[in-house]
Each structure stands twice: as structure tokens, then as C-alpha cells.
Structure 1
Amino acid sequence: MANPLASTGMPGQAVGMDYVLLHGTTQSTAGWERLVAALASRGHQALVVDLPVDRPDLLAADYARIAADQVGGAVARPVVVAHSGAGLLLPAVADGLDAAHLVWLAAAVPDFGGGASFLEQIERAGSELVHEEWRRFGRESTEDPVVAAYFGFHDCDLETLRWALTTIRLFYPAAVYAERPSAPPARPSTYVLPRQDRTLRPAWMGTAARERLGVEPIEIDAGHFPHVSQPDALADILERESGGA
């Protein structure tokens, strides 16, 4: 079955890099539409993975198999981009797809060195990891459009905001949140850090990028969903970082 958000580039252009996109915990696959189009205009192919929202018992390895089944043989050594909570799945999915590059987009990074689960990190230092308002009201973001707009789309124009609100969907991988991480990925990584993020704290993201991934984060002037508010700027970053330019 063809991926509805896949593209093989513009007519007359050689196909460039392959990208696989993993949605986060508050958005459906539709949220990638603008980034898919931006990558296609640059001659790249992007495919999205639709992670099941009704299997909270699945572990990261299970999601990796689902991603491999959905992508099949349509990509070769892709760049795998994970948004937000999908960062906890990124190492396993990247291994399953033999990824050439990992991109952490405003994403949670597993505690590779300390071995703590994401839930344990929240319990120990939640105020350092996420904004206090998100801790109090964030669970309402998939139910209340005002909350979703405040936390996720405050940097969008009105037209984009209206569209973005139609992409909201809850994905809660409970077992992954309680799962202890394994070794850090033995593949190149890029961390894209939105300076206006109201969900994860930018300071925590920067520290996680440096200490857990060994990379200097690339900052973008956007909120928690740069692929929605700044798709062209993000596509430029992905192209440059993955060697597709």
C-alpha cells in the first residue's frame, strides 16, 4: 500500500535522500505534510510511519518492527527523524531501518549513561525537563484546541494554526516510557532545538544533545512543532545535516 505522504521529488529532479518521519505523542501523521512537501521540492523522498495509538504495551523494539513493515523496501539507509516523545523510539527504529543518520526534532533523548527510564527522569527532575505549565496542563493538549495552540502552535500564523489543530492525536507509548535505554546509537545524530518550545525546556534539550549524543544542537526559531511552523527552514537543516544538499 502506497504511503499517502510519500514523495519521490519534483519531475525532472534526481531523487536525493530518503527520510523516514516518526510522529510524536500529540500529533498524527498528517502533521508531517508540510515538511514532506518541502523535502520533495528539494528532490528528496519522505515517508511517514503511522505508530499505533491503541497498543500502550509495545516496547521500542516492537515499534521498530512496525516501522520496518510499513516502510518495507521503499528506502535505502534513510535519515530517520523523530519528533518529541518519538525520540525514545529513534535508536531502535534507526537500527531496524539501517539508518544513515538520526535527527532528534525537539525530541526526548534516552538516558543512555544513567540508565533511567523516561518516567524516572520525569519523577526525579521533571521541572528541569519540561515546562511547569506543561506538567500541569499538557495532558489537555489533545482534547482542548486552546491548550494545543498555546503549547504547540503559538508561533504559527492563523491559517497554519487552523490546519495544525486538525492534526492533533494522542499517542501514549506507556511501556516505552517505563523502558530502560540500552547503548547510545552508533550512528551520526543531529539535534534540532526550537528556541520557543513550551513543552520541553530548551536548556534541557541542549544539555541532552551535548551530554547524551555528543553533538551541538542546531537551534531554530520555532515552537515545539518546527515541521508545522517552519517546514522550509527545517528542510534546509535536514538537507544540510544529512548530506543531501
Structure 2
Amino acid sequence: MATFALIHGGGGSARDWRLVVPELRRRGHDAVAVDLPIDDESAGLGDCADTVVKAVGDRSGVVVVGHSWGGFVAPLVCERVRAELLVLVTAMIPAPGERPADWWDNTGWRSPGDGDEVDVFLHDVPPDLAADLMAHTRRHSGTADGEPWPLRRWPDVPTRFLLCRDDRFFTPAFMREVVRRRLGITPDEIPGGHCPMLARPAELAERLVGYLGQLG
């Protein structure tokens, strides 16, 4: 049995994973989702990682999963727990010493334009779930965004990247290139937009569990 440590993105919460957690448990695994202290002006990247590490506790067989902004936190967790696998889901991939605030220019990301948040992030999410997510969006302080990513190299943990083919925020062509340059791997792909945990929870859970079978 694996334990999946589920890390939300910017403005998100543990609530974002509420449909994936039971799907993972139905497949015989445990899952832990936490609220990162993103709305705490005193909390940095290390504090975010500490929150996940505390929730994981002494569990072994940990699969760390980072979504979107959570890509800056997930590798830090892998350095502090007994992680067997790191999975990034349409996530930011940090470089050593890079601030999250600088990632956008450093990677050449382009804004999706004038679409509203639902159109950009949640276009394939059922309307009731999209409305619930918008109602529970949390303020994201600038503290962690202004802090350099502290690792000198990528953690020595098998890493997979799951790209969303219909993502309007981190578009497929952009992310394929970022993954190639920063991780040196080819991403796997899933249909759907930026929030597959709400739009395709069963399919996402199946992908996450499937990665376990690829470990040697």
C-alpha cells in the first residue's frame, strides 16, 4: 500500500483533492491532503513543505504529488520523507535558486489572455464543483513566491510529469518544452484542463496508481 501526499496549487486547499482521495482508497492506497499555509504572510516554501511532512508522519511508501504551484513544494517534501515517487500534475518545475515569482519569465510563459478564471482553469469541471472551488479560493501571500527555491539539485527520486492536453493556463506545447528542458523527460498526457482532480478524479487516480507499477 502506498500513501499519496497530495499537494494543491496556488490559491487552493486540501479540498481540491476531495474526489481523488476516495478513488485512491478504493484502489487500496492511503492518501493525505493538507492545506498549505499559503495565506500566512510569515510562511515560506520550507513551511509549506513542513506542513506536508508533518501530515505524512512516519508513513513509508510515499508518493508525493504536486499540482500547479505545488511543484515548488513537492520536491522539498521528497527530501524530507521516504518518498518512492514524485508526480507533478501540470505543475511548475523549479530550478535551483529560482523564486516562484521569477518562474514565469524564466520559462517564457505567456498569459492566456482576458478569459475569466473559470474559462481558463475550470472549463471542463462540472459547474457545481467549479463554483465551489471559486467560493473556497484562498488568498496567496507573496512570501513564498519571493523566496529562492532552496535545493541545489533535483531530489534523487523517480519523477513523472502528467500534462493536461486541454490546459489553457499551462498549455501543452509550453509545458512539453519546460519538462524537456528542466527534467529531461517526456511528459505523460491526460485529456482535460488545469484541474483534473475535479474534472477527471477517477482517471487521475488510475494514472497515479499506475505509476507504482512502473517502479523497478
TM-score range, shorter chain: 0.7 to 0.9
Change (3 A) 1:105 1:40: same
- Kindly provide the CA deviation profile for residues 182-237 of structure 1, in whole angstroms up to 9, marking residues without a partner as x: 21121101111111112223222212222222221111111110111011111111
Amino acid at match of 1:129: W
Residue 124 of structure 2: aligned partner = 155
Structure 1 residues not aligned, in runs of 5+: 1-15, 138-146
- Kindly provide the CA deviation profile for residues 78-123 of structure 1, in whole angstroms up to 9, marking residues without a partner as x: 00101110101111111112211001111100124xx543323324
Choose the corresponding residue for 2:160, options 170, 178, 190: 190
Once the two structures are superposed, the pairs formed by residues 1-245 of structure 1 within 5 Å of their partners are 16-73=1-58, 75-112=59-96, 115-124=97-106, 128-133=108-113, 147-172=116-141, 174-181=143-150, 182-243=152-213
Runs of 4+ more than 6 Å apart: none
Query: What is the count of residue pairs matched by the alignment?
Result: 214
Question: How high is the TM-score relative to the length of structure 2?
Answer: 0.87
Identical amino acids, percent of aligned pairs: 29
Amino acid at match of 2:50: R
Amino acid at match of 2:54: D
Name the SS of the counterpart of 2:117 in structure 1: helix
Name the SS of the counterpart of 1:85 in structure 2: helix
Residue 144 of structure 1: aligned partner = none
Question: How high is the TM-score relative to the length of structure 1?
Answer: 0.78
Change (3 A) 1:161 1:62: closer
Change (3 A) 1:173 1:193: farther
Counterpart-to-counterpart distance in 2, 1:23 and 1:175: 14
Larger fraction in helix? 1
C-alpha displacement of 1:31: 1.0
Counterpart-to-counterpart distance in 2, 1:67 and 1:200: 25
Structure 2 residues not aligned, in runs of 5+: none
